Amino acid sequence: MWSIEPLLYALVSLCIGSAIGSLSWRWQQHAKRQWHQEARQILALAPLNGPSFALWHSRSYCPHCHHSLNATALIPLLSYAWLKGRCHHCHTPISLRYPIIEGLTLSCLLPLHGYAQNPLELVALTLLVSTLICAAIIDFESYWLPDSAHLVVFSCATIWLQSQQLDLYNHLFAGLVSLFLLLVLRGVYQFFRNMEAIGIGDAKLLAVLVYWQGPDALIEILLAASFLGLIFALIQRKTYSSAIPFGPFLIAASLLFFYLEIAL
């Protein structure tokens, strides 16, 4: 029988939440800079000055005054309360996104502790759910989904499916059907309405989510995500032609069903 202290897992979850907050922001800045560089290259303009944006290797800093953050400013949730939501150096308000992401990650990861049957399952599910949270934030804030996130979710889901001794090929087939279905829907919209109603990233995301949760999840996730998206659009007073990221709702729906399964 294996065990890990719940408190230790909660602390690790908070640190993962802090890393997701930082990584999701850096990833967006990194991608924006790359797109700018590519656009400048196409337009035969001089490349942007300065070093490229580091995803992993640089210290966290205040985006306003560019001071590096010290260790106390990096303690999840507590540092925000301690600093009263302001940068220690320039007193500029720190975005609420950081404590929200840390709290969200903690509440999403904690149920996995009691559910995982062995350390490998816990690691795989922790990485899978953390990657989904990171991808949802990026899509919500910048309207794109990183391909590497799909790959991580696919790999972690494979470990989990094997550990649960579920039919890998059945899940793989369901994932491919989901991908095909959304690509067809996308093509139909493009042909008849001349609009990109569904992104290719959303199709890939649905495929890996259904691969993880099985054939029955396809309709459930699609319906629940559409419903959540509709509620969001109504609250935000979006019009028919407004762009809405679908990825966060696909992820929210799949996590909702997964946690319901854990709870029942």
The binding site for Zn ion (CB under 5 A) comprises 62, 64-65, 87, 89-90
CB of 64 to Zn ion, least distance (A): 5
Secondary structure of residue 143 in the 3-state scheme = coil
Nearer to Zn ion, 62 or 159 (CB): 62
Nearer to Zn ion, 84 or 237 (CB): 84
What does the alpha-carbon distance between residue 207 and residue 123 come to, in Å, rounded to a whole number?
22
CB of 97 to Zn ion, least distance (A): 16
Within the chain, how many helices (H) and strands (E) appear?
9, 0
- Map tokens 């990194």 to a residue: 30
CB of 87 to Zn ion, least distance (A): 3
Nearer to Zn ion, 70 or 107 (CB): 70
For the chain, the helix, strand and coil percentages under 3-state DSSP, each to the nearest 5:
70, 0, 30
CB of 81 to Zn ion, least distance (A): 18
CA distances, 71 to each of 17, 66, 74, 76, 79 (Å): 16, 16, 5, 10, 9
Nearer to Zn ion, 36 or 64 (CB): 64
The DSSP symbol for 67 reads P
